[in-house]
Amino acid sequence: MKWIRIRSATTDDLDAIMALEESCFTLPWRREDLEIDIRENILSAYFVAETSGQVCGYAGMWMVCGECHIMTIAVAPGHRQAGIGAMLFMKLMDEARLRGANRYFLEVRMSNAPAIAMYEKFGFRRIDVRRAYYDDNGEDALIMCRDDTPV
Ligand SMILES: CC(C)(COP(=O)(O)OP(=O)(O)OC[C@H]1O[C@@H](n2cnc3c(N)ncnc32)[C@H](O)[C@@H]1OP(=O)(O)O)[C@@H](O)C(=O)NCCC(=O)NCCS
C-alpha cells in the first residue's frame, strides 16, 4: 500500500477537489460553496488525502448545534478499496469529537452500496428516508446516524 497523508484542506486544493467532485458525483458541488467552506466557515472542517504529492481523496463535515453532519467524502476511482475512505472518515469523526460532537449524521443515495457499507462499518444506523431527494434522478436519500450520547 502507498503512503497516505491526511491533512487539512486549503483553498490551494480547490482544483484537485473539484476534479474529484466531477469524477465522483453526478451532482458536483459548486466551487464557490466549497471555497467559502474551506476558507471561512468556522463550523466546517475539510481534509484531503494525498499520495505522492497528489490529492486522491477528500472529505468534509459541518458542526451544527453540537452535532456532526458529514457533508461529503470521495476517493478518486483509481485509489478506491485501499483504506483511504476509511482514513478520511475516521479523521472527520475524530475532528468532530474534538469539537464536542457525540452524534453524527449523513445522507447517502439508496443505491450507493460501497458508501453505505463503509458507514455501517463505522457504526452508523439507517434512521430515515428522504423521498426523491436527488435532483438528477429522483433517487431517495437514506439518512444515517451514529449516536454516542452517554446514557
Ligand atoms: C465511498 C468511498 C468514499 C469509499 O472509499 P474507499 O477508499 O474505497 O473505502 P475503503 O477502501 O477505505 O473501504 C472502507 C469500507 O467501505 C466499504 N466499501 C468500500 N468499497 C466498497 C465496495 N466497492 N463494495 C462494498 N463495500 C465497500 C467496506 O466496508 C470497506 O471496509 P473493508 O475494506 O473493511 O471491507 C468511495 O467508494 C467513493 O469515493 N465513492 C464515490 C463518492 C461517494 O459515493 N461518496 C459518498 C457520498 S455519501
- Cβ of residue 75 lying under 6 Å from some atom of ligand 1: yes
**Is 92's C-beta closer than 6 angstroms to any atom of ligand 1?**
no
Atom of ligand 1 nearest to the CA of 76: 39
Q: How many domains does the chain have?
A: 1
Which long-range contacts does 136-140 make (Cβ < 8 Å, 24+ apart)? 136/26, 136/27, 137/26, 139/109, 139/110, 139/111, 140/109, 140/110
pLDDT of residue 121: 98
**Residue 151 has what pLDDT?**
82
CATH number assigned to the domain comprising residue 40:
3.40.630.30
Per-residue pLDDT tens digits for 18-75: 999 999 999 999 999 999 999 999 999 999 999 999 999 999 999 999 999 999 999 9
pLDDT score at 63: 97
- Cell numbers 467532485: residue: 21
* First vs last C-alpha separation in the chain: 40
Question: From ligand 1's centre to the CA of 11, what distance in Å?
Answer: 26
User: CB of 78 closer than 6 A to ligand 1?
Assistant: no
Rg value, the chain, Cα: 15
pLDDT digits (tens, 9 = 90+) for 76-134: 999 999 999 999 999 999 999 999 999 999 999 999 999 999 999 999 999 999 999 99
- Ligand 1 atom 48: residue of nearest CA: 108
Angstrom distance (rounded) from CA 63 to CA 68 = 5
Taking the C-alpha atoms of residue 18 and residue 43, their distance in angstroms, rounded to an integer, is 21
Domain that includes residue 105, residue range: 5-147
Whole-angstrom Cα distance, residue 5 to residue 58? 11
Half-sphere exposure of 16 (CA within 13 A, CB side): 20
Protein residue whose Cα sits closest to atom 5 of ligand 1 = 85
pLDDT at 1 over 70: no
Q: What pTM was computed for the model?
A: 0.97
